[in-house]
Amino acid sequence: MATNRAPFTILLAEDNPGDVFLVRRALEKQGLAVNLIVVEDGQAALRFMEKADTDPAFDCPDLVLLDLNLPRATGSRVLTRIRQSRRCEATPIIIITSSDSPLDRENSANLGATDYFQKPGDLAGFMQLGRIVRDALGQKAAANQA
pLDDT at 7: 84
In angstroms, the CA 13 to CA 30 distance is 20
Integer CA distances (angstroms), 127 to 8, 21, 78, in order: 19, 11, 25
Q: Check if the beta carbon of residue 66 is closer than 8 Å to that of residue 94.
A: yes
Integer CA distances (angstroms), 133 to 87, 115, 122, in order: 21, 10, 18
pTM for the structure as a whole: 0.92
pLDDT at 6: 65
pLDDT at 4: 43
What single string gives the DSSP state of each residue in 5-33? Answer: S-SEEEEEE---HHHHHHHHHHHHHTT--
Domain at 8-140, CATH class = alpha beta
Per-residue pLDDT of the chain (146 residues; tens, 9 = 90+): 343 456 899 999 999 999 999 999 999 999 998 999 999 999 999 999 999 999 999 999 999 999 999 999 999 999 999 999 989 999 999 999 999 999 999 999 999 999 999 999 899 999 999 999 999 998 876 666 66
Residue 110: strand, helix, or coil: helix
